[in-house]
Structure 1
Amino acid sequence: MSNYEKVIGRNAVRETLKAGRNVNKLYISENHDSGLVSIIKMAKSKGISIQKTNNHKLDSMSGSTHHQGVLALCSPVETISLRELIEKMNEKVTKPLVVILDNITDPHNAGAIIRSAYCAGADGVIMQTRRSASIGEGMYKSSAGAIEHIDLCEVSNIAQTIDTLKKEGLFVVGLDMNGENYYDMDYDMPLALVVGAEGKGLGRLIKEKCDFISSIPLKNDFDSLNASVAAGIVLFEAVKTR
């Protein structure tokens, strides 16, 4: 089991099966409802081993009771290099749109941002190999399976990555406090959107490297929005204006 990663929950498992990732075994609750029938059929059509088990074992394997009666053991999600991501973007006729995660350490936040990025049609999500949420079961579940369908790129240095993207013609917009109102900005350009950790915001060097800083005005006296919520708001504003 140590060579495989756990994918937990119906949407995440369904999208993993659709994406064709190697699934070693599928664990299904012996008391499952009709909502799992399509997942079972898909797994059988792919020749995947299915084991029915009780919810107590699923609770133990997943570390919670929120598994929705299904868990898959899979090969790890593959990532691509920054150069590969750039080459893919250059092959498209549309303006590039990528999301950069700066010190997002919560896998649930990272997964939710990946979900929004995929739904907004982003070309990829870039994250740092250190001081960042690890790609794993929490990220799979919170992305609702979107992680299977968008390019993920891990880099060692976000600041250097921004420099590289700028040389490729992308403009870098950072989400942070005390910037220009997000709805007053023009996003109709090759765009890299940088999202920082909630509370801390963007790192000083990263903020300095951004071409623009975009902010979401808050009506009440409160520090900030959840990072994934803020990312979703600005991503779809960008989609509207592009």
Structure 2
Amino acid sequence: MKNKRERSNEVNEPVSMEDVVFGKHATIEALQARRGNKLFIQEDLKSFKIEELKELAKEFSVPIVWAPKTRLDEMTNKENHQGIVLKITPYEYLSLEDLLAKSKEKENRFFLILDSIMDPHNLGSIMRTADAVNVDGIIIPKHRAVGITPVVVKTSTGAVEHVPVARVTNLSQTIKKLKEDNVWVFGTDMEGTDYTKWNVAGDIALVIGNEGKGIGSALKKEMDEMITIPIDGHVQSLNAGVAAGLLMYEVHRKRRN
């Protein structure tokens, strides 16, 4: 009975959604990054991927708790957790200074600045692409923007463990500091240089605007150049995640060539 009561207490311990990641890929990446505290697995789940997770948890000394699906649904607000939820230590953001120092020795650095992205799915997909094309870091504002949430981690399929993220108070001041570090800053807008003619040489930063409003008017004044993606159909703009992905791959394509 004692073991059963202890197990029950572990299953029912208070866990906030902000304290977890979920899904196989996000959980594996978080475990390998040594951010796991406790692994919750759906009690009736049996598969090769579960055995793999159990071995990984054992390797990093992370205790495992078997829990009913209803408990995992509760911990994740009924997101698609795949029967796997990992309680983690808080995500550690970098300062701008730390981000620049981390990439100081690199040539042709590429940073992404996100101006008030609100949708966690957009941020997650942007981070996934950023990892694929070796972006050196992402910069987001502390206020009026989504941070690294469990949904972001799940959508990024664990890319958050590989792409450094700096959280700053003022984007305008941040851009000024980037320019002092010889980084050219490009914005995205309906009018500007066609992205296929974009000169991506040297250290650059690309600013992606808010899903509805785009880049703020004050921030636009800080841009060295505006880049546009031509649109011939009826829609006026692309989804922020799609536009960011297209432009990141344009930088990647030109630099590979």
Equivalent in 235, 238, 241 of residue 225 of structure 1? 238
AA at the equivalent of 2:235: F
AA at the equivalent of 1:201: G
Deviates more, 1:39-48 or 1:153-162: 39-48
Flag as ranges the 4+ runs of structure 1 deviating above 3 A: 1-4
Do the aligned residues in 2 keep the contact of 1:19 with 1:149 (CA within 8 Å)? no
Equivalent in 219, 222, 242 of residue 209 of structure 1? 222
TM-score by length of 1: 0.94
1:91-110 matches, within 5 Å, as: 91-92=105-106, 94-110=107-123
> 1:102 deviation in Å?
0.2
Q: Looking at CA atoms only, which structure, 1 or 2, has the larger radius of gyration? A: 2
List alignment gaps of at least 5 residues for structure 1. none
| Residue matched to 2:63 | 49
CA–CA distance in structure 2, aligned partners of residues 88 and 170 of structure 1: 15
Equivalent in 157, 162, 174 of residue 149 of structure 1? 162
| Residue matched to 2:213 | 200
| Residue matched to 1:85 | 99
AA at the equivalent of 1:142: T
Do the aligned residues in 1 keep the contact of 2:187 with 2:223 (CA within 8 Å)? yes
CA–CA distance in structure 2, aligned partners of residues 68 and 175 of structure 1: 37
RMSD, aligned α-carbons? 1.6
CA–CA distance in structure 2, aligned partners of residues 224 and 198 of structure 1: 9
Do the aligned residues in 2 keep the contact of 1:171 with 1:192 (CA within 8 Å)? yes
1:117-156 matches, within 5 Å, as: 117-156=130-169
Deviations, residues 70-115 of structure 1 (Å, cap 9, x unaligned): 00000011111111111122122x2111100101111221121112
2:49 is paired with a residue whose SS is helix
Deviates more, 1:4-13 or 1:94-103: 4-13
| Residue matched to 1:188 | 201
List alignment gaps of at least 5 residues for structure 2. 1-14
Equivalenced residue count is 240
